[in-house]
Structures are given as C-alpha cells and as structure tokens.
C-alpha cells in the first residue's frame, strides 16, 4: 500500500491555497487535505483544480490567518467525511462535523460519510402526493406542501423568511415523528443562538441536528454546509429508514459562497456576475433531496431575493427545482399582512383536484380569483373610490378584504414580541372559514375581527367583543 502524498503550501490567497506535491500522482478533485500547522485548530482544505503536474488549488474550510508558505500538507486519500447517525442528534456541528455547542466530543465509533454523493437512481426514487399539513392557513390552502417534496420561500430582506422557517420548525416537530436537520448557511450568529435556545426549550433538540456555516466563516464553509446537512439526512433516510425534515436558511447564501469560491479560483463570471457553474451547483444539491421506498426527505428552504428582483439568475435557477414556491411580498408586509405571502405569485404542484380533492381545489380557486379581481380594481379604487364600482365589484372588494385578513395568522415564535398567542389551524377549519367568507356570511362583520386570528370561531368571538365595546363607547 503506497503512502499518502505530502505537499507544501506554495501560495495563500485568502481562502484559496495552492499546494505543491513532489509525487507524480496528485490528490483527486474534491479530496480533502489537512494542513499540518502548529495552531490549535485544524485546517482542512478541499482540492478544486489541478494547475499543473505538481500543483493543486484548494479551498479552505477554516480561516487561513497565519498560514505561511512551506507548511506541510497531508492528503487524506478521500473526500471530506462528516459524522452521521444517532450520535449527532441534538448537536450543533460545523461544516466538517466538529461540535460547536460546547458539548462533549463525539464518540470515536461515530460513523462518517463523504459529503459528496450521487442522488438515488431514478427508478429507486418514490413520489408522494400526501399533503404535508403545516397549520399555516395561506400555505395549506393555496400552496400545499408535499410529504417528500421541496418547498422554497422567496423574499427580499426583512419580509419574514426566517420567522416563517422557525414557525414551520415549531409546527412540524409537534406532529412530525421523523428527524429534523437544519442547515444555517451564511446566517448570523445571533440567529443560530436563538434557534438553538428555542429548540432546547421546546424539547425537540434530541431529534434535531443543526449544521452551521456562518457568515463570518470562509466561503468554503458556507458553500459546503448544505452538503454536510444533506449527508446527515441521507444517512437517516437510507440506513435508519426514518423520514427527515430538512430545513435550509438561506440557499441564496450557498449560491453566493459558490460565487466567491469561483472568483477566488480564477474562473470568469457568467450572467450578472454569478459563477459559470451556477446551474450545476444548484442541481447537485437539489437532486440529492429525494425520497426512496419507505422513507422521505422533505425540504423547506428559505431563499433571499436580492433587491426584490425575482428574475435574478440564482432565484430562477433554484425555483426550477421546487414543487412548491412561496413568494413573500414586501407590499403585503407593508400593509401588515403576516405571513407576508403573495397568494397570487405563489404556487404548488399539489394544488390539483386529483390530489387535494375537488372541494379544496374549488375553494382555493375562488379565493385566488377573488383576490386577483380585487388587485385589478385597486387602481380604480385608489383614484375614484369604492363608491364608483358596480354592485358586483363592490361585493368582491368586501369579501377580498376579509379574505386578506382571514389569511393572516399570529405565530407562536413571535408571541413573545407581539403578545398575541400563536395559532395553528387545521386545514378543515381553513376551508370552512374561506367558504363562509366567499358565501357572504361575514359581510356584516368588521374587517378587524378577521385580522390576526386562527379559525372563524375566533373571529366570531372577536366580532362580538368588538360590537360590545362599540356599544359601551356609544353609551
């Protein structure tokens, strides 16, 4: 058996390291190298290019501050391997699987798997039309998620993507018996601490794994963090035969980190400055999110939309892989409609009468048509007022405004900030409430009675309370 080749650092350019080997055989692409420096923390780099017969160019997963030319580098003989299995449950890991939660080191017998794997072959993959009920009214009604599907939430800065992901985590773990894997890609340290504390307090941490490549880490760590989370998910799916809920926040940071790495490697940029390998990188990640017989991986991903431009190449590339597209609108957020989901721009492949049933489909289409007509009339209303509309259009406006407010919902994760108790609404109650509004049963109710409530019964109680308050004020 031949000894693994050793090299020396030839050049350091930020997160990119050139290594010279004196042997004829260079380490293959995507293989891991360990820098044998004297600092306490490990430095792992991943090969990404063969520059010539003796030199490789690699991307670092940790900070290269203090790394000098001439330092020895050892080839590991394989790709980066991360710990998987039951020992990582309840732990917070970095991109190479090191615990970062101040807990005990992982046991020595913890199995490890390569972060690079092929997706399951097509004939072994399974598709399901089982609905993944979230308890969030607007999602379950208009853009239902699939068990074993891929859903993405697209939105600009400050419209509520992370809050929506955290609410989905909280809603799912209460009724979801599988494993949850969370990938924090390019996130703030504060958000990681908040999520870790929230999971500890809610008691779901023992069946959750958290993987972070934070924004203060090198681009290589942010670029590979989703692959680490995906590798852990695949192990639970294939070896433990458990259903897995994979949450990623934020996939745009994954693309952004790939762009940084591409520039550091000297590649020419493509459209809008993105890396020329954008479509390939996104496809390699998304195609591995698949379900096989007996177990599924359900992915919910937050995607930042730069400058609210939904034609951005990164956004369009990611959306092409999704079963369910949830668009968060700044206009909705400005008007105070939370969750700020645009019901007309969002879509789901599951919203089909053969999947969700004729009744659900009919109500969803009526809601969408009513809201679309209201949007068409909004310019006329702003110029001339509602009084200039015909009787039929005035009725549509009345019901559309009530539907807008009914589809808002208080979240449990924001309860500490708003003081309003969160609500999780069964799909049957959502359908019944929308049907009642469309049939005109709430036409004489105040609009505020339907704002930020759960079921229609809650609105009825709020309406009666408001009427009593108004009577007392008049007397």
**Which residues belong to the active site?**
161, 187-188
Q: Which of 203, 215, 220, 214 is nearest to 169 (CA)?
A: 203
Whether 82 contacts 94, CB under 8 Å: no
Could you identify the residue written with the tokens 């957020």? 333
Q: Is 387 exposed, middle or buried (0-12, 13-18, 19+ CB in 10 A)?
A: exposed
Q: What's the CA gap between 276 and 284, in Å, rounded?
A: 14
Question: Quick one: residue 360, left, alpha or beta (phi over 0 = left, psi -120 to 50 = alpha)?
Answer: alpha
Question: Quick one: residue 200, left, alpha or beta (phi over 0 = left, psi -120 to 50 = alpha)?
Answer: alpha
Alpha helices by DSSP H, listed for 203-350, are: 219-238, 251-264, 278-287, 313-319, 330-334
Whether 185 contacts 248, CB under 8 Å: yes
Q: Which of 28, 34, 40 is nearest to 9 (CA)?
A: 34
Whether 79 contacts 32, CB under 8 Å: yes
Q: What's the CA gap between 121 and 425, in Å, rounded?
A: 38
Q: What's the CA gap between 77 and 364, in Å, rounded?
A: 55
Distances (CA, A) of 180 to 186, 259, 435: 19, 28, 34
Q: Which of 231, 256, 253 is nearest to 244 (CA)?
A: 231
């Amino acid at each position: 058996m031949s000894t693994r080749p050793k090299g020396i650092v030839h050049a350091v350019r930020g997160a990119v390291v050139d290594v010279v080997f004196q042997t004829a055989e260079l380490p293959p692409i995507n293989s891991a190298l360990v820098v044998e420096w004297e600092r306490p923390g490990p430095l792992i780099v991943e090969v990404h290019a063969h520059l010539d017969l003796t030199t490789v160019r690699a991307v670092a997963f940790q900070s290269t501050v203090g790394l000098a030319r001439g330092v020895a580098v050892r080839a590991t003989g394989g790709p980066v391997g991360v710990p998987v299995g039951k020992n990582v449950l309840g732990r917070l890991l970095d991109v190479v699987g090191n615990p970062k939660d101040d807990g005990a080191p992982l046991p020595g017998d913890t199995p490890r798997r390569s972060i690079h794997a092929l997706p399951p072959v097509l004939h072994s993959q399974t598709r399901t039309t089982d609905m993944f009920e979230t308890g969030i009214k607007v999602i379950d009604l208009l853009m239902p998620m699939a068990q074993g599907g891929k859903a993405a939430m697209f939105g600009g800065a400050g419209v509520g993507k992370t809050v929506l992901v955290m609410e989905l985590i909280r809603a799912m773990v209460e009724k979801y018996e599988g494993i949850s894997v969370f990938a924090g890609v390019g996130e703030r340290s504060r958000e990681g601490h908040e999520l870790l504390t929230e999971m500890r307090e809610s008691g779901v941490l023992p069946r959750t794994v958290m993987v972070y490549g934070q924004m203060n880490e090198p681009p290589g760590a942010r670029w590979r963090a989703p692959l680490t989370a995906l590798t852990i998910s695949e192990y639970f799916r294939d070896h433990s035969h458990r259903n897995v809920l994979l949450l990623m926040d934020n996939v745009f940071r994954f693309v952004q980190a790939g762009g940084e790495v591409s520039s550091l490697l000297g590649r020419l940029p493509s459209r809008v400055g993105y890396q020329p390998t954008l479509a390939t990188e996104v496809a390699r990640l998304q195609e591995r999110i698949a379900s096989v017989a007996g177990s599924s991986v359900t992915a919910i991903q937050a995607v930042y939309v730069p400058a609210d431009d939904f034609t951005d190449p990164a956004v369009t590339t990611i959306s092409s892989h999704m079963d369910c597209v949830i668009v968060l609108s700044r206009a909705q957020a400005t008007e105070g409609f939370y969750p700020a989901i645009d019901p007309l721009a969002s879509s789901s492949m599951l919203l089909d009468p053969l999947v969700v049933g004729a009744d659900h489909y009919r109500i969803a289409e009526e809601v969408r048509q009513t809201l679309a007509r209201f949007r068409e009339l909004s310019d006329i209303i702003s110029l001339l007022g509602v009084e200039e509309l015909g009787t039929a259009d005035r009725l549509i406006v009345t019901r559309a405004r009530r539907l807008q407010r009914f589809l808002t919902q208080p979240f449990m994760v924001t309860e500490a900030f708003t003081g309003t108790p969160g609500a999780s609404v069964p799909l049957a109650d959502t359908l019944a409430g929308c049907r009642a509004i469309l049939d005109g049963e709430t036409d004489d109710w105040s609009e505020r009675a339907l704002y930020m409530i759960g079921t229609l019964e809650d609105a009825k109680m709020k309406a009666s309370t408001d009427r009593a308050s108004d009577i007392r004020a008049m007397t």
